[in-house]
Amino acid sequence: MNRWLCRPWVIVLLTVLLILLDQVTKGLAVRFLKGQESFVLWEGVFELHYLENRGAAFGMLQGQRSFFLIAGIFVSAAAVFFFRYMSEDRRFFPIRLIGVFFLAGAWGNMLDRFRLSYVVDFFYFSLIDFPIFNVADIYVSVGTAVLAVLILFYYKDEELKTLLDKWKGRKE
């Protein structure tokens, strides 16, 4: 059974690569979009629009850097715990991958907050006037949606109970 995502160095490498992708896209946004008009990719639907977000998702918690530091430390600690106790069974590969996406998303935005005091956002769905977002936000949002689908439709209750029991330290 292939368990490559169970190896710590693979988790770290994949997380770092995803963070780099996030940071490169934000760097490109700063270079080509900052101080410019929005770049329309699909008229009335989707555009690239530079925004310096000093809060969390949807502009909440403006200027709360300490809160974000604590949240980032919590997410990192939870990820270490998660990877330490997650089943190495191949069936749980999707959940392990989602954990990598959560970690990369949290660190991608946390790096911006502490390096710049804001997060660079630049994707904008004008069709539905959706809040402007970035690649790290995509990692977390898509990961959350996929996790919900997996829990609701893919994993059986017994499998989820076994995972919870393992995390609680029970052996059955």
26: nearest Cα among 116, 91, 128: 116
Structure tokens at 8: 């710590």
Alpha helix ranges (H) inside the chain: 8-33, 65-85, 93-116, 135-149, 157-168
What's the count of helices (H) and strands (E) in the chain, helices before strands? 5, 3
d(CA 165, CA 158): 10
> Which entry of 129, 137, 157, 165 is annotated as an active-site residue?
137
d(CA 60, CA 53): 9
> Which entry of 89, 121, 129, 165 is annotated as an active-site residue?
121
Structure tokens at 40: 């329309």
SS3 letters across 125-140? ECCCCCCCECHHHHHH
Q: Are 111 and 136 in contact (CB under 8 A)?
A: no
Is-catalytic flag, 22? no
Is-catalytic flag, 121? yes
Residues that are catalytic: 121, 137
